[in-house]
Amino acid sequence: MPGESGSSSSSSRHPKQKRKSHSLSIRRSNSTEQDRAGYQRDMLDGQDSKLPISLRSNLLDLFGQIEREFENLYIENLDLRREIDTLNDRLAGDGQTIEGGDPSKGALKTKASHSTSQLSQKLKTTYKASTSKIVSSFKATTSRAVCQLLKEYVGHRDGIWDLAITRIPPVVLGTASADHSALLWSIETGKCLLRYAGHAGSVNSIKFHPTEQMALTASGDQTAHIWRYMVQLPPVSQPPADISVPCEDDLELSDREEGETDEGPFEVPTIRVATATLKSHQGVVIAADWLVGGKQVVSASWDRSANLHEVETSELVHTLTGHDQELTHCCTHPTQRLVVTSSRDTTFRLWDFRDPSIHSVNVFQGHTDTVTSAVFTVGDNVVSGSDDRTVKVWDLKNMRSPIATIRTDSAINRISVSANQRIIALPHDNRQVRLFDMSGARLARLPRSNRQGHRRMVCCSVWNEENQSCNLFTCGFDRQAIGWNINIPALLQEK
C-alpha cells in the first residue's frame, strides 16, 4: 500500500510535526483534487476531440489514478530523503562515521535503495493495472493475413462509386462511375467487356439480377435503369501476376502525378438503351438493389424516400418515407423480403415486406453522423458504417444495441461482409481498406505502398468468394478497381 515504505522512520517524528505534516498533506490533497477536477472538466468541455465524452472521461480517470499514485509515492520519497539528511547531520554532529565516512555506502543507502526499488515496483504495478483496462478493449491478433494485389481494372474517366459481381456465369465484375457509364470486366484478364452508356448523370450504384443477365443501375439523372447484357469471356493467356505484400505495410504511397493519365480510349461494345427506366424519384438516385427473387427492386434517393418497383411493369408499388435527410444507400436481404435504408439523418431503417398485408418499419439511431451504408449478412445480422468513423454489428433478433462496435480513424464508405468467412471489408476516406471479423477484431489492412493500392478515397468493397484467387474487390476515386486475394489464416477465422 502507498506509504508503507516510510512507516518505520515516521515513528521518530515529533507529534506536532506529524500533525502539521498530516494537515499539510490533507490540504495539498484537497487542492490537488480540486485542480484535477477542474482540469478534467476543461478537458471534457473544451478539447476538440473525436472520442466520445464517456470514453474520454474514462481515460482521464485512469490516468488520474496513475498520477495520484505517483504523487503519493513521490511525496513519501521526499520525506525519506529529508529524514536521511537529518540523521546524517545528527551523526556528523556526534562525530560518527558510516562505513568509512561515506553515508552513501552504508545502511541508510541500503534503506534508500529499498525505498527506490519499492517506488519503481509500485509505479510499474500501478501502470500495468491501470493501462490494462484500456489495452484490453483493443483486440489484437497473433498472426497476420496475407493480401495479394492480383489485378487492376483501369478504364473509367472519373471516380468509381460502386462495384458488383454477377451471380450467374459468366462471372464478371461491374463498376459504376461518375463518368456516366457502367463497365463490365473480365476478372481474370482485366479486360473491359461491355459499356453501358444509357444514363445522363453519374452512375452511383450497380447490382446484378440473381438469376438472369440483367443489371440495375442508379444515377444522378434521377432514374434507375434495368438493362440486359451479353458478354463472352476472353481466353486467359497467362495467370495473373502474384504480387504478395504484407497487409500491415505502413509505407505511404504518393499521389498520382497530375500529368499522369489512365489508359487511352478503348473500343468495347456499348449499350445505350435500357430495358426499363424507373422515374419515380425527384432527386438523385443514390443506390438500388434487387429484392430476393428478382421480381422487384428498391431504389434510394436524395429526395429522402425509397421506392419499391415491379420489374416487369416498372410500376411503383410502395414509397418508403420517414427519413429526415437524403438517403445514402439501400440493401436487400439475400433470402428474405427485408430492406435496410441508410441516411444522412444518422439513422438506418429496417423495412419488412415478408407479410404482404403489413409493411413494418423500425428506426435505429446507433450513429452520430451520416450512415453511409448498412448491409445484411447471410446470418441474422446487420452491419452499419458511418461518417462518425464507426462500424456497428447488430443482431436482427435484438436491435436495441450493437453486439460489436469497431472504431477507426477515418470515415467509412460502402462496406461488404463475406458470406463464408464473415469478414467485414471497410473502405475508408483516407484511402485505406481494413478487414475485421464480426466480433470487432482487426484482421488486416490492405497494402498501400510501392505504388500498389488506392491513391484516392476508397468508395466501395465487394466479396467474391466463389473465386479462389480474386475474392475481394475495391474501387475508389482514383478511377480504378482492384482485385485482391485475401488469405485469412484458420487461426484468425476461429476467433
Predicted confidence (pLDDT) per residue in 116-164, tens digit:
555 555 544 444 444 443 443 344 444 467 888 999 999 999 999 999 9
Q: Which of 144, 266, 160 is nearest to 482 (CA)?
A: 160
- Is the model more confident about 74 or about 273? 273
314, pLDDT greater than 70: yes
Angle subtended at Cα 360 by Cα 358 and Cα 365, rounded to the nearest 5 degrees: 180
- Is the model more confident about 317 or about 127? 317
pLDDT above 90: percentage of residues in the chain: 54
* pLDDT bucket at 61, cuts 50 / 70 / 90: confident
Which range among 21-25, 318-322, 480-484 shows the weakest confidence by mean pLDDT? 21-25
Q: Which of 490, 436, 447 is nearest to 138 (CA)?
A: 436
Q: How far is the C-alpha of 413 from the C-alpha of 279, rounded, in Å?
A: 26
70, pLDDT greater than 90: no
Q: How many CA atoms lie within 13 A of 333 on its CB side?
A: 16
Average pLDDT over residues 274-285: 97
Query: Residue 405: its pLDDT value, please?
Result: 96
Highest mean pLDDT of the ranges 18-22, 237-241, 342-346: 342-346
- Give the three cell numbers for residue 351: 423495412
Burial string for 410-419 (b: 16+ CB within 10 Å, else e) reads bbbbbbbbbe
In order, the DSSP letters of 240-301 are PP-EEEETT-----PPPPTT----------EE-S-SEEE---SS-EEEEEEPTTSSEEEEEE
Average pLDDT over residues 64-71: 81
Q: How far is the C-alpha of 249 from the C-alpha of 147, rounded, in Å?
A: 11
438, pLDDT greater than 70: yes
Other CB atoms within 10 A of residue 246 CB:
14
Burial tier of 16 (Cβ tally within 10 Å: 0-12, 13-18, 19+): exposed
Query: Residue 48: its pLDDT value, please?
Result: 66
Query: Residue 38: its pLDDT value, please?
Result: 58
Residues 109 and 85 sit within 8 Å (Cβ to Cβ): no
Which range among 190-194, 263-267, 453-457 shows the weakest confidence by mean pLDDT? 263-267
Which range among 220-229, 246-255, 433-442, 480-489 shows the weakest confidence by mean pLDDT? 246-255
Residues 481 and 153 sit within 8 Å (Cβ to Cβ): yes
Which range among 282-296, 342-356, 442-456, 470-484 shows the weakest confidence by mean pLDDT? 442-456
- Which residues does residue 309 pair with via DSSP β-bridges, in sequence order? 297, 316
- Is the model more confident about 90 or about 481? 481
Query: Residue 129: its pLDDT value, please?
Result: 44
Query: Residue 460: its pLDDT value, please?
Result: 98
Q: pLDDT averaged over the chain?
A: 80
Highest mean pLDDT of the ranges 25-39, 102-116, 328-342: 328-342
CATH architecture under which domain 146-493 falls: 7 Propeller (2.130)
Predicted confidence (pLDDT) per residue in 352-366, tens digit:
998 877 778 899 999
CA 324 from centre of chain: 25
- Is the model more confident about 489 or about 442? 442
Residues 483 and 470 sit within 8 Å (Cβ to Cβ): yes
Other CB atoms within 10 A of residue 219 CB:
23
Other CB atoms within 10 A of residue 254 CB:
8
* pLDDT bucket at 424, cuts 50 / 70 / 90: very high
Which range among 184-193, 231-240, 447-456 shows the weakest confidence by mean pLDDT? 231-240
* pLDDT bucket at 368, cuts 50 / 70 / 90: very high
Handedness of CA 316, 320, 321, 326 (dihedral sign): negative
Query: Residue 461: its pLDDT value, please?
Result: 97
Highest mean pLDDT of the ranges 80-89, 110-119, 402-411: 402-411
Which range among 87-96, 201-210, 241-250, 452-461 shows the weakest confidence by mean pLDDT? 241-250
Q: Where are the domains of the chain?
A: 4-135, 146-493
Predicted confidence (pLDDT) per residue in 219-249, tens digit:
999 999 999 999 988 887 654 444 444 444 4
Residues 336 and 348 sit within 8 Å (Cβ to Cβ): no
